Amino acid sequence: MDSIKCSSSFLHHTKLNILFSNHTFPKSSSPNFKRLFRPISISAKARRSSEAENIAVVEKPLKSERFLVSDGLPSPFGATIRDDGVNFSVYSTNSVSATICLISLFDLRQNKVTEEIQLDPSRNRTGHVWHVFLKGDFKDMLYGYRFDGKFSPEEGHYYDSSNILLDPYAKAIISRDEFGVLGPDENCWPQMASMVPTRDEEFDWEGDMHLKLPQKDLVIYEMHVRGFTRHESSKIEFPGTYQGVAEKLDHLKELGINCIELMPCHEFNELEYYSYNTILGDHRVNFWGYSTIGFFSPMIRYASASSNNFAGRAINEFKILVKEAHKRGIEVIMDVVLNHTAEGNEKGPIFSFRGVDNSVYYMLAPKGEFYNYSGCGNTFNCNHPVVRQFIVDCLRYWVTEMHVDGFRFDLGSIMSRSSSLWDAANVYGADVEGDLLTTGTPISCPPVIDMISNDPILRGVKLIAEAWDAGGLYQVGMFPHWGIWSEWNGKFRDVVRQFIKGTDGFSGAFAECLCGSPNLYQGGRKPWNSINFICAHDGFTLADLVTYNNKNNLANGEENNDGENHNYSWNCGEEGDFASISVKRLRKRQMRNFFVSLMVSQGVPMIYMGDEYGHTKGGNNNTYCHDNYMNYFRWDKNEEAHSDFFRFCRLLIKFRDECESLGLNDFPTAKRLQWHGLAPEIPNWSETSRFVAFSLVDSVKREIYVAFNTSHLATLVCLPNRPGYRWEPFVDTSKPSPYDCITPDLPERETAMKQYRHFLDANMYPMLSYSSIILLLSPIEDP
């Protein structure tokens, strides 16, 4: 799981009792949602709710001291520039009155409202949509809404006119200026407001267009915007920002990356779990960002000057990042958390969706309880007609306006669950597929996934599902796909980890992974629908995977109870960083083995930020709350590894790109692929086999031979005989750098090659324990 990491990415191993929300906030971070006006007591809310149903509508002209006011239009939703003014439109089914609040940037800092305009339901409401059109000076102007109606949690309603709410369609959200810095009066939840758009924010794309790279050719790099350049060793002017990432894109280009997957960049509150960390002496925060406040707004505090230069700066800096990535042939995929919001359960803050229309935006049980399939207090009601349109509108905006190339859907299986429709006839769902569906039941043809898959804009971008959720639904290989959806292949990760560390019984499953997991994706999909990964943000880094048998999460403040316990890791004989030279050598070999397995597999490889130099988090496999060295890319360490592991990774990615056979459009067949054992064409698929080898016909390289020996014993391999040709070594992970990857420009290359010659002349090759090799076929030259 990725959101508020109270469990892990290996959800299919975890049993959670989370049908209904029991999420609570830590005492130190309990929502202190300071409103602009004094909150109304629950009893007062209840009295007002009963009175609200009988409010008489008195028609009167809409007045404003600063703006010309007219009726407006019900679409599009959000704030839209039109005819020298701005049209405001918001959906709210059960509210009985609405007020738009205009707030200057200065007044927001003073906790004041600049002007309020109460909307007339006879003029400013069409169906369930409130709307108004305003003309005037909107420079540095923000807005929000008040809604009145029932405050009746047991009926699913949380209307409270003392709350000033964010527009769900807000294109930018303003609150605090600096990342991790408390608001006035040390408030973790200061008042927020939505940006009013102006024409001053127009951006010059300089002809930028979506790259539309074939997905089979991608090498994805999962990264965190702040973490990538926040460390002082980045030596840039604006560390931890969109601009910082743009400045460092050449590092990714050199590595061979052609697609970055950005961890959440939607607006979130990093102080949501703010508390003092007695172990590290700093403060815990929501660093990863899997707790969205606004799905249309970029994270403002990732900009170089956040709200000091107003929200438009953040929008433009995100666009600059995308444009600069495209210039280098790198696509941009966003990690979107459309499974829950930061409002949590009934104890959470009310800042947008809950106050606008709680019973529409969240999955609710008949008595108003929040279903908690996300593990974070609430579940987004994705398949409700209004919410699924909201999701499609949001994704379209990021594609058309921000030029992103695709999306990875956090806890994507939630989008396959049936919605709650808040009326008596539909409280248990509708008659779909012959059965009565209760709220949250998985359905084979989810409307929201259907809409996305068949949308004329979204169908052409990359769509990647994290095909599980915190409610126990695990759909890897079974996610509703319409022939275009890809999945984070968690089974690839689990199988490869176990085979490489020498666990018996995984040779056959490992071979399936090398072929693109046809056992999961053959029949309607392609190898490139499998996103292959060994490590991601959630879990051990690659270096920690070979250094720790056990997680070390005490610094998270949860007594080491958080994070995954089943990591399939192996410390190579000694626990922790302080180990003997022989153990450290084996660890480096294992890191290379993992990287080889990733790069020679069919499907789309994904690597995690920092793994290219061996980043360590000290064994912490759940670093969601750390704004420190654990999550910071170490540019100094990367420089140290430039001629070692970074070089190895760079050359393997380059090799994959050069090979026509590594990244096929279809699953390999016997015409191209041959399996081998210690002897040619005699593979060993027994339970005790720890050796897997194959050869692959390649139109560029002629043929490649790849073998993995994950036994603790060395072995001598007999190679396939190819008359007129000789096998030559390219990769041997048992060798120290730079001889782990022999390139034509390698100094003393001929000397290194001679060390293998007598074996290769006999069509043999010696493999050390825990090693892998790649051999290339070369013609024998006449003596």
Task: Supply the residues annotated as catalytic.
Answer: 410, 466
Contact status, residue 266 vs residue 299, Cβ threshold 8 Å: yes
Provide the 3-class DSSP secondary structure of residue 283.
strand
CA-CA distances (angstroms) from residue 198 to 176, 180, 579, 704?
21, 28, 59, 58
- Number of helices and strands (H, E) in the chain? 17, 33
Burial (0-12, 13-18, 19+ Cβ within 10 Å), 667: middle
CA atoms of 571 and 431, how far apart (whole Å): 53
Give the pairing type, strands 283-284 and 266-268. unpaired
And the tokens for 705?
A: 């031979």
Which residue's structure tokens are 């024998």? Answer: 780
Amino acid at 462: K
In three-state secondary structure terms, 508 is helix
- Residue 454 DSSP class: H
**Under 8 Å between Cβ of 661 and 217:** no
Residue 201 and residue 312 in contact, taking contact as beta carbons nearer than 8 Å: yes
Distance CA 428, CA 631 (A): 43
**What's the CA angle centered on 24, arms 367 and 192, to 5 degrees?**
95
Angle between helix 581-599 and 507-514 (nearest 10) = 50
Q: Is 713 exposed, middle or buried (0-12, 13-18, 19+ CB in 10 A)?
A: exposed
Residue 773: both structure tokens together: 């090799």
The 3-state DSSP composition of the chain as helix, strand, coil percent (nearest 5) reads 25, 20, 50
Closest of 494, 492, 507, 493 to residue 710, by C-alpha: 507
The two beta strands, 141-148 and 406-409, are unpaired
DSSP 209: -
Q: Are 556 and 562 in contact (CB under 8 A)?
A: yes
Distance in angstroms (rounded) separating the CA atoms of residues 554 and 558? 7
Residue listed under structure tokens 């782990």: 740
Alpha carbon distance 552, 574 (integer Å):
15
Q: How far apart are CA 108 and CA 173, in angstroms?
A: 12
Q: Is residue 372 a contact partner of residue 378, using CB atoms and an 8 Å limit?
A: yes
Residue type, 754: K
Contact (Cβ atoms closer than 8 angstroms) between residue 532 and residue 222: no
Token couple for 38 = 């004094």
Residues 6+ apart with CB under 8 A from 343: 349, 350, 351, 352, 353, 354, 377, 378
> What are the residues whose beta carbons fall under 8 Å from the beta carbon of 265, sequence distance 6 or more?
225, 289, 298, 299, 302, 318, 334, 335
348 contacts 377 by C-beta, under 8 angstroms: yes
What is the DSSP pairing of strand 157-158 with strand 435-436?
A: unpaired
End-to-end CA distance of the chain: give it in Å, rounded.
60
- Report the amino acid identity of residue 43: S
HSE (CB half, 13 Å, CA atoms) of 129?
17
Render 366-415 in DSSP notation, one character per residue. Answer: TTSPBB-TTSSS--B-TTSHHHHHHHHHHHHHHHHTT---EEEETTGGGG
Residues in the chain: 783
